[in-house]
Amino acid sequence: MPLVNRFREIRRQTENLCKPLKIEDYVPQPVAYVSPPKWHLAHTTWFFEEMVLAKQRPNYQRFHPDFAFLFNSYYNTIGKRTLRTERGNMTRPTVDEIYAYRRFVDEAIEKFLSDSTPSLEIVHLIELGLNHEQQHQELLITDLKYILGHNPTFPVYREDTNLVAQKNKLNGWLNIPEGIYEIGCKDEEGCFDNEKNAHKVYLQPFSISKAIVTNGEYLDFIADGGYQKFSLWLDEGWTWLQDNNISTPMYWHFIDGEWYNYTLAGLKPIDKTAMLAHVSFYEASAFATWKGMRLPTEFEWEAASAQLSWSQRWEWTNSAYLPYPGFKIAEGAVGEYNGKFMINQMVLRGASTATAAGHSRKTYRNFFHPQYQWQFAGIRLAR
């Protein structure tokens, strides 16, 4: 697909995700790590304006002089930015102004691509921007679910968008022999820098479940007092659940003697046969301990991935988010994309029902702090 067509398609998809929203849905930021939909729309546009247009087009006139400050996320190289916690306080600029901003930048990018033959470096930068936008499409869904899911009326985003009803296609265990396995991405253009460099690891023999843990299995953990037994939990996890009064996965509710979970299609009875979602690393680790098993490492997961069915849930691994051998942080703002976050976070592998189409691969390394539940994350066991 020509680059300009791919650009239009991905940019249009972000706006399509917002079509079911009411104007009030665009603004809230109930917690610091959840960004308002309006901010996602603006920030993904800022990326193309700042990284491409402002640097590559002589005499480029920005849409608005304040937007570089308002919609920069974490790029210290580029300049000052508003605090993350303030994103929900920005009732201005309006939603209409943000959509006008998107149209302005889209037209400028399309003109830039049609007026000249961009260098390979610029093509790679625009591709990075498109992958960045696809990441934000998933964040837009997860953040929106948090915003709506913490509304006591459990509003419906879209009747046909449940996203947590999927069931396992495979069961049983996959035995992986000991040996040397190649891990990471070889394709210079087809992955993020944190997936490089491809390298070899030695693995002991292990078994990995073909199935993701189900809601029913997790209900057994809850019924057995899993959230009350400190011996199952890592110390930080035990402190986290006590400090935050955690006793279920996010969006689960016990109402009139029945279990329900909030979905983007509204509040639904929990399907015991569906794959579990919205658990933290701490919960995943405690469940694995309760089962007398463990979580796979990210290297075990990748070595087994070709024989597994994955892409419905992000899967917590027991691997800290660290650089691969030979990894180097690139110069400039692009270098701030991944490398500086390689501390105090755990790796998730696979993809989820919220992941943008064409944005998953076996080498993809997602990463979050271990206490977060709001992603579509589940559990695959190893032993």
CATH of the domain at 314: 3.90.1580.10
pLDDT value at residue 335: 78
Same domain, 38 and 140: yes
d(CA 208, CA 284): 15
- CA dist., res. 79 & res. 71, Å (int): 11
- Residue 22, domain extent: 3-149
Sequence-ordered list of residues with C-beta below 8 angstroms from that of 141, at least 6 positions apart, any chain: 17, 163, 264, 354
φ and ψ at residue 317, rounded to 5 degrees: -115, 170
Would residue 178 count as lying in a domain? Answer: yes
Q: With respect to residue 33, please indicate whether it lies within any of the assigned structural domains.
A: yes
Residues 254 and 358 in one domain: yes
Q: Are residues 196 and 345 in the same domain?
A: yes
Of 149, 184, 202, the residue at which a domain comes to its end is: 149
Residue whose tokens read 């394709």? 187
Asked whether residue 358 falls in the same domain as residue 233, the answer is yes
Burial of 3 (0-12, 13-18, 19+ CB in 10 A): middle
Q: Residues in the chain with pLDDT < 70?
A: 188-189
93 with 15, same domain: the answer is yes
Is 161 among the domain residues? no
Tokens of 32: 């610091």
Q: CB within 8 A of 171, min separation 6: which ones?
A: 210, 211
The tally of domains found in the chain comes to 2
Within a domain: residue 383? no
Residue 154 belongs to some domain of the structure: no
* Same domain? 144 vs 197: no
In a domain, 335, yes or no: yes
Domain final residue, candidates 149, 183, 216? 149
Do residues 323 and 216 both lie within one domain?
yes
Q: Which of 133, 149, 165 is the last residue of a domain?
A: 149
Give backbone dihedrals phi and psi of 176, rounded to 5 degrees, phi first.
-110, 125
In a domain, 159, yes or no: no
Do 212 and 308 fall into the same domain? yes
Residues 264 and 349 in one domain: yes
Residues 315 and 363 in one domain: yes
Residue 21 in any domain: the answer is yes
Output the pLDDT for position 58: 85
Are residues 42 and 142 both part of a single domain? yes
Q: What is the 3-state secondary structure (H, E, C) of 203-248?
A: ECCEEEECCCCEHHHHHHHHHCCCCCCHHHCCHHHHHHHHHHCCCC
Whole-number pLDDT of residue 177: 98
Residue 237 shares a structural domain with residue 121: no
Q: What is the pLDDT of residue 189?
A: 67
Give the pLDDT score at 337: 82
